[in-house]
A = this chain, B = another copy of it.
Amino acid sequence: MHGGAIREDIGGGPRLAERYRSVRELSAALVAPLSDADSTLQSMPDASPAKWHLAHTTWFFETFLLRDNLPGYRLFHERWPFLFNSYYEAEGPRHPRAARGMLARPALDEVLAYRAHVDAAMAALLERSDLKDLIELGLAHEQQHQELLLTDIKHALWSNPLGPAYAAPPSVSAFASAEAWIDHPGGIARIGHAGEGFAFDNEGPAHRVLLEPFALAESLVTNAEWQAFIVEGGYRTPSLWLSDGWAWVQHDKVATPLYWHEDEAFGHAGWQKRDPAAPVTHVSYYEADAFATWAGARLPTEFEWEAIGQSHDPAAGNQLDAAGAIMPSGSPDLFGDCWQWTRSAYLPFPRFRPAEGAVGEYNGKFMSGQFVLKGASCATPRGHSRASYRNFFYPHQRWQFTGLRLAKDL
């Protein structure tokens, strides 16, 4: 299935129901390889149990669509909103994030029953045009959690010394990468979402930004290139690092990307030999920045990336089409394989205003301390991302499929 087809659906009335069904089904498919116990694991506070992702995305529809808009709707379970609210202060107190791994109950089966209950009730709302935007938001939200589910379970399985696999290895072969650059002359660029389809509030308002001439690498940085960085002492050379990054390297004794061990890397297929030609993933902003300095280049700004990205197909490349093992391959597309760190802090665009109510907490309140990532990863549901999409994480985080594409001044 090609993502382009999905994109045509955007804006369609009757097709929303179809998209609702397919997005919701993919979530369930993603947990099919997991036991109830697997789906209960929380291996670090940043991550959540697979079961929790299934329930939280359902809570979103139950709360903001059914409870608020469907007369007579009854909550599936009156205590579950307390468990499955993530961070919406306006929705009241909630189970502490770091304790999500204690939820052996409800069992996975009960959570799947919750999903069925909500899906059945949602049928009555999928045609209401006044709710279309909110439903789109719910679906985009669920797609984000699909990606998190995949990266969180990867971390959880890796935390087990037995290194269990989530699925059989996919057959991918990495493309050869060449050092080639996409030049951009600079000037005034149009940044932010301005089209018809769905976008998050943080992608707007569209506005103009002045760019200097620059070039963006055609290829992502590869495992082989990263290996050279290691061999040449990259992790032991303080002058390459931001001050906070060097403190992080020292404190956490970081010497490789996450999930590396000797010549293997841990992935959804368990421990496998690393492919030198595949893009490096699971590096932090600190690492990406240090690598770029070492390479005599720099990271792009989010505006530079977006200016180039506007002419690329956001649904192409190595992205998620169906449940199963996933793995970065090194496709020649701008989107896919991994999210790409930019040197732009995650901040509001000019004239940005969060939405009213609890949904306004979706994006705006995270605008301090994080960096923007662009593109899409092999765990991003195809059709979810676009050029204006702004992913964001703290500079030390690296359990997502995070990599880098170099830039330079012209």
Contact = CB atoms under 8 A, between A and B. Distances in A.
A366 interface: yes
A87 B366 contact: no
A368 interface: yes
B104 A369 contact: no
Contacts of A365: 241-243, 246
A345 interface: yes
Copies of this chain, count: 4
A82 to B, nearest CB: 6
Interface in A338-396: 343-345, 347-348, 350-351, 360-361, 365-369, 371, 395
A90 B238 CA distance: 8
A239 interface: yes
A16 to B, nearest CB: 30
A409 interface: yes
A259 interface: no
A215 interface: no
Contacts of A285: 368
Contacts of A38: 104-105
A209 interface: yes
Interface stretch (A95-103, A139-147, A275-283, A322-330): A95-103
Contacts of A395: 368-369
Main secondary structure of the interface of A (DSSP, over half): mixed
Interface string A206-230: 0111101000000000000000000
A251 to B, nearest CB: 13
A319 B95 CA distance: 35
Given A79-B161, A210-B209, A242 B368 contact: yes
Q: A87, A156, A367: which has the most chain B beta carbons within 10 Å?
A: A367
A105 B343 CA distance: 40
A43 interface: yes
Nearest to A211: B350
Given A43-B102, A344-B347, A345-B345, 8 more contacts: A37-B104, A38-B105, A89-B246, A102-B160, A104-B160, A243-B365, A244-B369, A369-B369
Interface of A: 35-41, 43, 79, 82-83, 87, 89-90, 95, 99, 101-108, 156, 159-162, 164, 188, 207-210, 212, 238-239, 241-246, 285-286, 289, 343-345, 347-348, 350-351, 360-361, 365-369, 371, 395, 409
Identify the 10 closest CB pairs spanning chains A and B, nearest first.
A345-B345, A89-B238, A37-B104, A210-B210, A37-B40, A36-B37, A243-B365, A37-B37, A102-B159, A38-B104
